[in-house]
Structure 1
Amino acid sequence: MHWHEVVIRLALAIIVGGLIGYEREFKNRPAGFRTHILVCVGAAIISMIQVHMIEDTTKLIMQNPQLANALKADIGRIGAQVVTGVGFLGAGTIIHEKGSVKGLTTAATIWVVACIGLAVGMGYYALSIFGTIGVYGVLASLKKFEGKIFHKKNMVKIEIEYYNKKDLVDRVSKYFESKSIKVKNIEFSLEEEEIEEEIEEESICLRKSLYTILVPIYVKPGKIVQDLSAFEEIYKVTII
C-alpha cells in the first residue's frame, strides 16, 4: 500500500467520523466530535494493518512457496476484534437515570463509526461514503419522525396550587387523558397556605399537588402550564 493511499484513507476516516460526531456534539451527547473521529481513525488503522499483513504474507509465500501451508492470513480476525472491543466505549455513554436509559443512540453510533472505519481502512470507499450518508441521515432527519410515530414521552414534574375543590383532580386527569399524558405519580401536600386575594380582600387556603407525568414529545410543557392555569380552581402551575 502506497503512502498516499494511507493518507487518503486516514483523511476519509477523519471526515466521516467527524461528520457523525458533529451531529452527536450538536445535540450535547456524552460522546461527540473528537470521540467519533478517534474511533473511526483507530478502526481504519487496524484494518490497514491487516491489509499490510495480508500483503506481506502474500509476498512471502510467493517468494517461498514451501511456506504456503505454514503461513496463514485470517482476513476478518482483527476487524472482528475491533467490532467487539469498541463496545466498552459505547457502554460508557449509556446512562441510567430516573427510570430511563439514555445514550443508546450514541453507543450505536460509536459502533457504526468503528465499522465504517474498518471499511475505510480496507479501501471500500463507496461503502464508507454511502454508509456515512445513511447514518447521518438517520441521526439528523429521523429524530422528528420518531417521536410522532412511536409517541415517545418525556418525564415532567408539575406543581399545582389550587383552591379546595373536590372535582379538580378528576378535571385534571381528564385533561391529561385528552393530551395522551400518563400520570405516573401524584403527591398531595397536607399543609395549607393562606394567601390574601386582592380582588375579594379575603384569605383563601391553597393546597398543593405534585404531578409526575409522562408527556408525549409533541406536547410542549409550556402548553400544559397554560391550559391548566386557565382552570378556575387553579391558582398557580409550576414546572419543577
Structure 2
Amino acid sequence: MLIAADWTDIALRLGCTFVAGALVGLDRESRERAAGLRTNILVALAACIAMLSAALLVPTAGKAPTSYIQLDVMRLPLGILTGMGFIGAGAIIRRSDGLVLGVTTAATLWYVTVMGLCFGAGQFLLGGAALALALATLWGMKLFEGRMRHQKEGRLLLRLSPQAPGEAWLRGALEEAGVQLRRISASIEPNTGMREYRLELWCPRQTPLIAPDFIHLFAETVGVERIEWEIGHH
C-alpha cells in the first residue's frame, strides 16, 4: 500500500491501469460491444483511483483516544466493487426469445475493476498476472472456440392439414438432415384436423440461416400449410 504521496509511484500505477484497461477493452471494442475501449479504461482507472485514495488515507485511519469514530479506508474499494455490480447488471440483456446477451461484457467490467484495485494498491505482479489471464481468456480462447463443434439453435413451426404425413415422417426428415430434436409441442384442431408442431432443434454449424434443405422438403410436401423458421447461435 502507498503511504507517502509519491507522485512517481502514483503515475506508474495509473499508467499500468490505463494500459491494462485498454488491452482488455480492445476485445470488447472489436466486437462492437456497448462497454468498449473507453468504458473499460474508465472503469479500471476509477477502481485504481479509489484504491489510491484509500492508501493515502491510511495514515489517518484508526481511532483517536478522544474520539469514538474509527475510519475504515477499505470500505472505499469495496464500495467500488459493489457499485460495479449495478453497472454490470445493466450490460446484461435478456431478449424476448430467451437469449441472454452481455454476460461477458459485464464480467469484463467487473474484472477490470479488480485489476484497477490491484494496480492502485501497488500490487504490480498480481495486476500483471490478472492482465495476462484476461488476455489469454478473451483472445486466446477465441482460437479454441473456433475449433469446437458448434451447433445452432433453431425453432420451427409447422402447420399441417389432414392430408400431410404423420409425425414419424417429420422425425425421419429431421434425422436425415442431421438435426437433433430438443423439444416438441403439438396442437390439433378437432373440427378441421389441422395440426401445428412447434419444434426446438440443434442444427449443424453449417446449416444455412435461411431455408435449409429440410425446410425446402417441408415446403414441397403436400398438406404443409405454413412454415416458420428461426435460427441462432449457441
- Do they fold alike, i.e. is TM over 0.5? yes
| 1:16 Cα deviation from its structure 2 partner | 0.8
Q: CA RMSD in A?
A: 4.1
Deviation at 1:67, TM superposition (A): 4.3
1:80 aligned residue (70, 78, 81): 78
Q: Deviations over 1:19-66 (max 9, x none)?
A: 111112222333211111110000000000111111x428xx9xxxx9
Alpha-carbon distance in structure 2 between the residues aligned to 1:125 and 1:187:
63
1:228 to 189, 214, 219: 214
Q: Percent identity, please.
A: 25
The DSSP-based 3-state class of the residue aligned with 1:87 is: helix
| Structure-1 residue corresponding to 2:129 | 130
In the aligned structure 1, how far is the partner of 2:33 from the partner of 2:186?
A: 31
Q: How many Å separate the matches in 2 of 1:223 and 1:23? A: 26
- Which of 37, 46, 50 pairs up with 1:42? 46
Kindly tell me the number of residue pairs found equivalent between the two proteins.
Answer: 211
The residue identity in structure 2 corresponding to 1:24 is R
The residue that corresponds to 2:191 in the other structure is: none
| Per-residue deviation, 1:187 | 9.5
User: Within 1, Cα distance between the matches of 2:119 and 2:142?
Assistant: 27
Q: Retained in 2: the 8 A contact 1:57–1:72?
A: no
Shift of 1:165: 5.8
> 1:19 is matched with which residue: 20, 23, 45?
23
- The residue identity in structure 1 corresponding to 2:38 is R
TM-fit CA distance, 1:139: 2.0
Gaps of 5+ in 1: 189-208
Shift in CA distance, 238/219, structure 1 to aligned 2, threshold 3 Å: farther
Partners of 2:110 and 2:74 lie apart in 1 by: 17
Give the Cα–Cα distance (whole angstroms) in 1 for the partners of residues 12 and 86 of structure 2: 28
- Whether the aligned pair in 1 keeps the contact of 2:174 and 2:214 (CA below 8 Å) is no
Structure 1 distance, partners of 2:104, 2:184, is 25
Closer, same or farther in 2 for the Cα pair 1:124/1:91, shift >3 Å? Answer: same
Q: CA deviation at 1:220?
A: 2.6
Change (3 A) 1:44 1:213: same
- Unaligned 5+ runs, structure 2: 189-195, 222-226
Once residues 37 and 220 of structure 1 are traced to their aligned partners in structure 2, the CA distance between those partners, rounded to angstroms, is: 37
Change (3 A) 1:234 1:187: farther
Alpha-carbon distance in structure 1 between the residues aligned to 2:126 and 2:200: 44
- Alignment partner for residue 57 of structure 1, among 57, 60, 77? 60
Matched, 1:171 2:175: no
Residue 120 (structure 1) aligned with residue 141 (structure 2): no
